[in-house]
Structure 1
Amino acid sequence: MVTAPPFPDKPMKHGPASLILSLVALALLLAAPRPASAQQPGSLLIWPVNPVIEGDARAAALWLENPGKTPITLQVRIFAWAQQNSDNVYAPQNDVVGTPPIVSIAPGERQLIRLTRTTPPPDVAEKPYRIVVDEIPTGTASAAPGASVSFRMRYSLPLFSYAQRGDSKARPTAPAPQISWRTSADNGERFLEIRNTGASHARLTDVSFTAGPNKLPVAQGLLGYVLPGATMRWPLPRDIDITGELVATVNGTAGIPVTRRQE
């Protein structure tokens, strides 16, 4: 089990019909240098941005597209995802597999990845996973002086598998997460702590405190996810006034007030 997140959540850039993950997304430095003349990796288009496997389905589709000028080779893996002690925890699993697991995509081409459930639907409302797409470096490594550094790109996005419901075996309207907040302190730093006691995840964006007509932002993009039954925390900006109401965009619905619980 991996407790140190290998792919932390980051704000994502959205295109008109796809998710554009560029060099600023998640770059992992490799030890092997590459010649300075070699082309650096470009963007990868991934859609849909939030894939799900419905209760009446066995699989879902994920598309990868190479908009660059050189071929790319990618590895697709799916991890079980949990949250413990305010940390994301990832573990190998075999309930959902991505096929093909390794692909080479020519410039301007796209590749379908099937996200296939190999076991019956979960017996809980939803089961979370994390999809990780790694770009595999190609070419000959060089240790010559002045050589530039080779980067391996890593892209991460959530996947939720839903339970069967009733005779229709289809997922009804997703239950709303039940979230509340308080502050906590650790080594002199204040944190915003959010708990989810509901049956579905909470994706939190545009989180802020209100102070009269003004908004005091905690996060203007993606703050993060809180899975069912979990508590997560994030550092608060210094000197932020927390006496007002906390509001957030929750799973795409803006302006949701979050209940404050006792310290």
Structure 2
Amino acid sequence: MGYVLGGRFDLAEVISEGGTSTVYRAIDRIGLWAREQTPEVAVKVIQPHAKIRQELVELLHREARLLRDCVHRNLVRIYDSDYDGKYHYLVMEFLKGRSLAQILVDRQGRPLSPSVSFQIVRAAGQGLVHMHRLGIVHGDLKPRNIFMTSTGEIKIVDFGTVLMLDGPRHHERAAALLDQIGLLTPAYASPEMLMGEPRAESDDVYSLAVVAYLTLTGTHPYAQWPANEALNANLTPPPPPTISPAQWRVLASGLALNRRDRIETVGEFVQRLGRPPWFYRLCGQRAPLS
């Protein structure tokens, strides 16, 4: 494409383009010179004439600060962010494959098998658990942000909405920016997030449970209603026909519209959901609701 970003990254082709930013496949000249096996990277560039550009720039560099040291096999690697005098940009790992959203669209409403669904939920959940250990909540997990690589790896790929669990002053500033820009996806955000409450790990439990339900049934549990509206309408999703009653009780707990009724941690949710039906029969237990 001709442009060398920051004197280092040769922009090769557009991967995706939105109203405020463009993601490119790029060649890292230093990596190429060092004969690295994979000199390819992905670079997200804020468009210079985008509306609310300053807010987007602030969130982009904040994403790099929070995630550059957050390294896990189920999280796309964030390397750095910079400004070359013309463009603000974020450099990250380049992946080949498809998003879960693309896979579901290609299936035209046909659900995934429980084994495949649980594999995706478990992998994404492990990435979220690692983030939570570092005090970071994702806040906007959805099929578009879960990527399945050509080698079978599953990675979370977008962190523009992350917030710290223990930083109220920074939380207020970042939350205000997210609200102003409208980055949250109402169909996947918890009721508490949509109502502006402080974030908790259980917000990611809710989003992951919605993704799990969608992959198991091909439909959204609350028919794409935002969670706060589903709460006011007292909606209840029907159980997926392909999982056991015990597994449904766990999934329903993850989908709970009141935080007090929801499983508190992603690790606990993934562990319980992945237990086979015979586990509860062997133990003589019902799947706990909280």
Q: 1 or 2 for the larger relative contact order (CA 8 Å, sep ≥6)?
A: 1
Length-normalised TM-score, structure 2? 0.24
Q: Specify which structure has the higher proportion of helix.
A: 2
Length-normalised TM-score, structure 1? 0.25
